[in-house]
Amino acid sequence: MSISVSGINKRFGDFVALSNVDLEVPTGRLTALLGPSGGGKSTLLRIIAGLEFPDTGTVEIEGVQATWLPPQKRSVGFVFQHYAAFKHLSVYRNVAFGLEIRKRPKTEIRKRVMELLELVHLEQFADRLPSQLSGGQRQRMALARALAVQPEVLLLDEPFGALDAQVRKELRDWLRNLHDEMHVTTIFVTHDQEEALEVSDEIVVINGGRIEQVGAPAELYDKPANDFVMKFLGPVTTLDGQLVRPHDIELRTAETGDAVRATVTKLTRVGFEVRAELKTAQGSEPWVQLTRSQSEDLALEPGREVWLRTSGAPRTLVVP
């Protein structure tokens, strides 16, 4: 199902949470709402879910006006961060819940719940209580529960928020695979740029209640619309007034025509990567990301004079 959001404004008292938000999410796409804390991501997701209503603007789901429909009339399944499972019900009953209240036949419920538990790799935990699961398992149970009623839209608010890096990574791959299998139109909220870049087909960058840019991950990374998007999507450094990615600076030990002269001030090794801090003749202090072998081939060491040139697309820094 496609989702079309247009002209959304939302205030909480005097505070503007969303300002003139327009967004099109085509059927079957996996979209990330990415941005810093307080930017309005959850508010937008809650408006799409029907848990919140806009002051002005409309939400259409598959061409049908849904702005004022309650959540249960929208064919959407959702999973929110501090997900409240029914603590006294087994994993099985938690997943079955939506089907039971829809009064589906028992045999159908059993079949569907077992299929879903298999899909989220929890089939052996069907009889446990949610408190007897790990955080990652609980999140997967929440996803199975959301999928049980066969939503045509899946809305996930920081679905892996409270988990450690390893489990997050596993669930990310799992969500991507699940999406590739089921093609449910999915919108998920994250403040983690790596998560958004890795998992989604399209990223919507939201900041201060406004959409900064919408695009495929590579497009946003390589062609950010502004300094904010560039900084939010990956590491940046400043080379004589230009904002660049630290791996887009070429570092040479021999002088070349258009390069900037600089001195190495510090070298830090992080795994296979070397971070070289520098000071240019004009006084700016960029850093450059190199591989360990690049750094060794160049025989870099503090005090060494080098020449820098940007190889990527720099942005002229707008000094406020």
Ligand X SMILES: Nc1ncnc2c1ncn2[C@@H]1O[C@H](COP(=O)(O)OP(=O)(O)OP(=O)(O)O)[C@@H](O)[C@H]1O
Binding site for ligand X (CB under 6 A): 12, 15, 17, 35, 37-43, 189, 191
Q: Rank residues 67 and 265 by Cβ distance to ligand X and give the closer one.
A: 67
Q: Rank residues 15 and 272 by Cβ distance to ligand X and give the closer one.
A: 15
Shortest distance, position 193 Cβ to ligand X, whole Å: 13
Q: Rank residues 8 and 264 by Cβ distance to ligand X and give the closer one.
A: 8
Show the 3-state SS of the chain: CCEEEEEEEEEECCEEEEEEEEEEECCCCEEEEECCCCCCHHHHHHHHHCCCCCCEEEEEECCEECCCCCHHHCCEEEECCCCCCCCCCCHHHHHHHHHHHCCCCHHHHHHHHHHHHHHCCCHHHCCCCHHHCCHHHHHHHHHHHHHHCCCCEEEEECCCCCCCHHHHHHHHHHHHHHHHHHCCEEEEEECCHHHHHHHCCEEEEEECCEEEEEECHHHHHHCCCCHHHHHHHCCCEEECCEEECHHHEEEECCCCCCCEEEEEEEEEEECCEEEEEEEECCCCCCEEEEEHHHHHHCCCCCCCEEEEEECCCCEECCCC
Q: Rank residues 204 and 236 by Cβ distance to ligand X and give the closer one.
A: 204
Shortest distance, position 104 Cβ to ligand X, whole Å: 34
Shortest distance, position 55 Cβ to ligand X, whole Å: 13
Q: Rank residues 158 and 248 by Cβ distance to ligand X and give the closer one.
A: 158
Shortest distance, position 155 Cβ to ligand X, whole Å: 13
Token pair 């991507």: residue: 176
Q: Rank residues 195 and 248 by Cβ distance to ligand X and give the closer one.
A: 195
Shortest distance, position 267 Cβ to ligand X, whole Å: 35
Q: Rank residues 40 and 159 by Cβ distance to ligand X and give the closer one.
A: 40
Shortest distance, position 11 Cβ to ligand X, whole Å: 9
Q: Which residues are CB-contacts of 268 (< 8 A; sequence separation ≥ 6)? A: 274, 275, 277
Shortest distance, position 245 Cβ to ligand X, whole Å: 25
CB-based burial, 62-89: b 16+ in 10 Å, e otherwise: eeeebbeeebeebbbbbbbeebebeeee
Q: Rank residues 42 and 289 by Cβ distance to ligand X and give the closer one.
A: 42
Shortest distance, position 283 Cβ to ligand X, whole Å: 37
